[in-house]
Amino acid sequence: MTHHVTVGVDGSPESRAAARWGAQEAALRNVPLRLVHAVDWPMAPAIPRMGREKVDRWADEALTEAAQELRGRHPRTEITTRCLSGRPAAALAAEALDAGLLVLGSRGIGGLVGFLIGSVGLSTVIATETPVVLVRADGPERPARDADGGIVVGVDIHEAADHVLSFAFEEASRRGCPLRAVHGWKLPAAYEYVPFFDPDNEREIGASVTRMLDDMLLPWRHEFPSVNVTTRAFVGSAGRELVQAAAGADLVVVGRHARRSPLGGHLGSVAHAVLHHCPEPVAVIAHD
């Protein structure tokens, strides 16, 4: 089955950037692009003077404008539009069920009507097991601290994250770009109480972690021999170090547990840090 790419559109700079990113991805995958806008009605508390007719007309105009721009850029890509009703996070998660990828702007549009207000973007990520890419608004070019471009994937060597690695390798293969796999680790807490710590122990642990990372990637290297893969294992906060390592990347890939608790879905500290502090597009991949 050919899965389309779905993009949430609300007329904001963030959603326009997401639409352009999503259109490029659809063209790379050679699949259709679907632009959607979700309206939560009634909306009187937020916009007391905007009636349903005006809201619908505004939504249609936002979708039409985005579609026209993207058809001019990608004339060979099939582009359709759809207006959704209901709670935005739930509507977008339901729309993503038959999509291969959901793309959202990483910030909302404040007090104005739109599908991405406040925490809706994060709620949508947690509510769906479809891969989600969050894209920030276009801005001035940023100086890259590690401008190797390509794909950066955060890897937890203690988790079975086949979906995360599959997505990262497929994206790198599709784009013909390098892939950097990074893993953050910490010394066992007991070492904090050792009065005379031998630095050689840290080096040995680091070498062991690097070998485990390489072993984890070995099946994917065989499956995608054309992908140039480099690895990096570092000591420190995984979230902070991943944000720094990802500077200048075309796409950052992180995982989150798909398991749900009685309190609802959980994003995870690393994914949360990357989504809030990484200016590059971030793909969040659900895994067991």
Alpha helices in 74-119 (DSSP H): 88-95
Query: Torsion angle, CA of 276/282/286/287, rounded to 10 degrees?
Result: -100
pLDDT for the residue 102: 96
CB atoms within 10 A of CB 45: 6
Q: Does position 174 have pLDDT exceeding 50, yes or no? A: yes
Q: How confident is the model at residue 193 (pLDDT cuts 50, 70, 90)?
A: low
pLDDT for the residue 2: 62
Q: How confident is the model at residue 12 (pLDDT cuts 50, 70, 90)?
A: confident
Q: Look at 19-23, 75-79, 120-124, 247-251 and tell me which has the smallest mean pLDDT.
A: 120-124
Q: Where in the chain is the domain with CATH 3.40.50.620?
A: 4-135
> Over the Cα atoms of the chain, what is R_g?
21
Q: Where in the chain is the domain with CATH 3.40.50.12370?
A: 151-287
For range 212-222, the mean pLDDT? 94
By DSSP bridging, strand 132-135 and strand 282-287 are antiparallel
Residues 6 or more apart whose CB falls under 8 angstroms from that of 69 comprise 19
- Average pLDDT value over all residues in the chain: 81
The answer to whether 158 and 206 are in contact (CB under 8 A) is: no
Look up residue 282 and give its two tokens.
Answer: 């971030």
CATH assignment of 151-287, among 3.90.79.10, 3.40.50.12370, 3.30.70.1450, 3.40.50.720: 3.40.50.12370
Residues 19-54 pLDDT 10s? 999 999 999 999 999 999 987 655 444 455 555 667
Residues 115-136 pLDDT 10s? 443 466 778 888 899 999 999 8
CATH assignment of 4-135, among 1.20.1730.10, 3.40.190.10, 3.40.50.620, 3.30.450.40: 3.40.50.620
The C-alpha angle with vertex 281 and arms to 280 and 286, in degrees rounded to 5, equals 130
Q: Which helix (H) or strand (E) holds 216?
A: helix 199-223
pLDDT for the residue 197: 56
Q: How confident is the model at residue 260 (pLDDT cuts 50, 70, 90)?
A: low
pLDDT for the residue 90: 86
